């Protein structure tokens, strides 16, 4: 056995060097392509749809926040507590009813604490989550978050998204310098290339304008304003089908459950003391019809036989209950156009596959970074200088955001079934690697939980899984065919992770200190 592991380590070292060499080549290629894309981005910015202004406009607030979801409401709280006058305009102030944004990772909870918003997960029947359980082909393994070094209150949280959002909104509205208003923002107000505010329609249908030196757009995944501020390349790899299981006892209490099913993963996690959220992933953009019964039949005949027996009856009862919802899963790398007077945040700015539940962690981490940058400024009126200064935000957020984004996209592809032999081996290797325990599980789950989101650790564990898969095939009796499959596992792993990292920006992700904007952190003189 020791000899097998020795040979595995030698093979792993060789293949690791190959992977690092490929990464270096891709980094060089990314630097060249980035310079070209920046020129294209400048041309696109001139074509963005905004409303032109003439003359000077008095500012109604220090900051306008468009949207009061998780990102917008948390941002309004944060800026207002720093003394800013904040005007929040939200399309619908009633409680949202969503099937995602219901699992906050421990790393996201730490950011809530940093922002002073941890009480917003109280009084909403939120459930503590301590890790994950994985299921594949009748086998199961438990993976715990590495929480030993943290306060006992630090854990993941499962809750109804709408209840959490309402708590954030209520806390923001209680601050005297926050104006929370229901209305639909129709356009950004632009004067000589600078965003001065927004035009919006109130709940009563009245057309109004609002002005502020800084407008932050947080209007979610369906944003109608993002084209003015970024180059959106939205991908929809799959759709989620959402159910709520009532009075369901999960096999592992206070854990998220991931079933590596065919064709793609199924998720279960608690969202209240007597409810469990189930999310069934269906690849592609087309799902069976709910209205004619095709969806119920699909869930009972294809999905139900693959889920753990302890959940089976609750799952079938939820399907029979008929409260089935669907939503497309979007991913979109952050590709901003630095624009004087405006900034993008949240899902309007950056999205990743929701499999890993990292969206709220990224948004809250971004808010912490932005707050720390703006704290140095007594006023925000010099739009060009502020824009130049805030370019550092896009670079400072990259290591954390890109790690979580890349992990989500890569893990979704690895966890999904495939007829390809190399992909099958990679999927099995991932399950077996995580089942080893110790650093083999704590390392990857520290990335997923947002507790240690470091790009190099992500690359290390991702290729360690691939190399582990190669070792499983080659040992104890290598053959030419097995060498061929082993090589294809490495190329398949590279084909999964490198395109995602390239889209995220290799230079900013791994070498942020080489980006000029990294050094814009010195605040402009007021």
- Summarised one tens digit per residue, pLDDT across range 250-263 is 999 999 999 999 99
What global pTM score does this model have? 0.88
| CA separation for the pair 277, 127 (Å, rounded) | 12
Instruction: Please list, in sequence order, all residues whose beta carbon lies within 8 angstroms of the beta carbon of residue 251, skipping any fewer than 6 positions away.
Output: 133, 140, 257, 308, 310, 311
- The whole-number pLDDT of residue 181 equals 97
- The whole-number pLDDT of residue 518 equals 65
- The whole-number pLDDT of residue 362 equals 97
- The whole-number pLDDT of residue 378 equals 86
For 312, other C-beta atoms within 10 Å of its C-beta total: 13
- The whole-number pLDDT of residue 525 equals 60
- The whole-number pLDDT of residue 20 equals 44
**Interior/surface letters 197-231, b for 16+ CB within 10 angstroms, e for the rest:** bbbbeeeeeeeeebbbbbbbbbbbbebbbbebbbb
Q: Where are the beta strands (DSSP E) in 137-233?
A: 139-144, 156-158, 178-191, 194-202, 207-211, 214-217
Beta partners for 88?
65, 180
- The whole-number pLDDT of residue 10 equals 36
Q: What is the pLDDT of residues 76-89, one digit of tens each?
A: 999 999 999 999 99
- The whole-number pLDDT of residue 522 equals 61
Closest CA to 341 of 231, 232, 233, 228: 228
- The whole-number pLDDT of residue 254 equals 97
Contact assessment for residue 125 and residue 272, using Cβ atoms and an 8 Å cutoff: yes
- Measured CA to CA in angstroms, residue 158 lies from 21, 296, 519 at distances of 41, 26, 38
Contact assessment for residue 470 and residue 490, using Cβ atoms and an 8 Å cutoff: yes
DSSP 342-396: EEE-GGGT-B--GGG--HHHHHHHHHHHHHHHHTT-S----HHHHHHHHHHHHHH
Give the 3-state secondary structure percentages of the chain, helix then strand then coil, rounded to 5.
Answer: 45, 20, 30
| CA separation for the pair 63, 377 (Å, rounded) | 13
- Long-range interactions of 309-317: CB distance < 8 A, separation 24+: 310/249, 310/250, 310/251, 311/245, 311/248, 311/250, 311/251, 311/257, 311/268, 311/276, 314/245, 314/246, 314/247, 314/248, 314/276, 315/243, 315/245, 315/248, 315/278, 317/245, 317/246
* Beta-strand relationship, 342-344 and 214-217: parallel
H/E stretch holding 199 reads: strand 194-202
| CA separation for the pair 220, 36 (Å, rounded) | 29
| CA separation for the pair 327, 240 (Å, rounded) | 5
- The whole-number pLDDT of residue 368 equals 97
| CA separation for the pair 467, 159 (Å, rounded) | 37
DSSP 138-157: TEEEEEE---TTS-TT-SEE
For each of the domains in the chain, give its residue range(s) and CATH number, in order of start.
2-41+412-512 (no CATH), 63-129+153-233+332-400 (3.50.50.60), 236-330 (3.30.9.10)
Which residue ranges in the chain fall short of pLDDT 70?
1-57, 517-526
């Amino acid at each position: 056995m020791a000899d097998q592991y020795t040979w595995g380590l030698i093979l792993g070292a060789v293949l690791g060097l190959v992977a690092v060499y490929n990464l270096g080549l891709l980094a060089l290629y990314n630097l060249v392509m980035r310079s070209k894309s920046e020129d294209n981005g400048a041309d696109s910015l001139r074509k963005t749809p905004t409303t032109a202004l003439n003359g000077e406009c008095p500012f109604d607030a220090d900051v306008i926040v468009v949207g009061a979801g998780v990102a917008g409401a948390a941002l309004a709280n944060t800026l207002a507590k720093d003394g800013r006058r904040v005007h929040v305009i939200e399309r619908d102030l009633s409680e949202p009813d969503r099937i995602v944004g219901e699992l906050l990772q421990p790393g996201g909870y730490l950011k809530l604490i940093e922002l002073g918003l941890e009480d917003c997960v109280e009084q909403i029947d939120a459930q503590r989550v301590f890790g994950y359980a994985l299921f594949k082909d009748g086998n199961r393994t438990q993976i715990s978050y590495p929480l030993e070094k943290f306060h006992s209150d630090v854990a993941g949280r499962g809750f109804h998204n709408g209840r959490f959002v309402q708590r954030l909104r209520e806390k923001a509205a209680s601050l005297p310098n926050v104006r929370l208003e229901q209305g639909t923002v129709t356009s950004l107000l632009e004067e000589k290339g600078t965003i001065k505010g927004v035009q919006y329609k109130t709940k009563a249908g009245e057309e109004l304008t609002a002005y502020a030196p800084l407008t932050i757009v947080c209007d979610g995944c369906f944003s109608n304003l993002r084209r003015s501020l970024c180059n959106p390349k939205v991908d929809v790899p799959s759709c989620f089908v959402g159910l709520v299981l009532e009075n369901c006892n999960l096999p592992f209490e206070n854990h998220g459950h991931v079933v590596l099913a065919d064709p793609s993963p199924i998720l279960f996690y608690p969202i209240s003391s007597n409810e469990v959220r189930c999310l069934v992933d269906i690849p592609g953009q087309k799902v069976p019809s709910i209205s004619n019964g095709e969806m119920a039949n699909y869930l009972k005949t294809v999905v139900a036989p693959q889920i753990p027996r302890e959940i089976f009856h609750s799952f079938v009862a939820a399907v029979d209950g008929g409260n089935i919802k669907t939503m497309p899963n979007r991913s979109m790398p952050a590709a901003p156009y630095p624009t004087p007077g405006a900034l993008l945040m949240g899902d309007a700015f950056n999205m990743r596959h929701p499999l890993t539940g990292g969206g709220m962690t990224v948004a809250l981490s971004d808010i912490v970074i932005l707050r720390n940058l703006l704290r140095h400024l007594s006023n925000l009126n010099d739009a060009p200088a502020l824009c130049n200064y805030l370019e550092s935000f896009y670079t400072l957020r990259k290591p954390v955001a890109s790690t979580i984004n890349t992990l989500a996209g890569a893990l979704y592809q690895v966890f999904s079934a495939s007829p390809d032999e190399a992909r099958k081996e990679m999927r099995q290797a991932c399950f077996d690697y995580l089942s080893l325990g110790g650093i083999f599980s704590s390392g990857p789950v520290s990335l997923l939980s947002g507790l240690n989101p470091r790009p190099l650790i992500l690359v290390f564990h991702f290729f360690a899984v691939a190399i582990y898969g190669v070792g499983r095939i080659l040992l104890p009796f290598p053959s030419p065919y097995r060498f061929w499959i082993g090589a294809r596992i490495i190329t398949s792993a590279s084909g999964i992770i490198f395109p995602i990292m390239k889209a995220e920006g290799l230079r900013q992700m791994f070498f942020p200190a080489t980006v000029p904007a990294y050094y814009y952190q010195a605040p402009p003189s007021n």
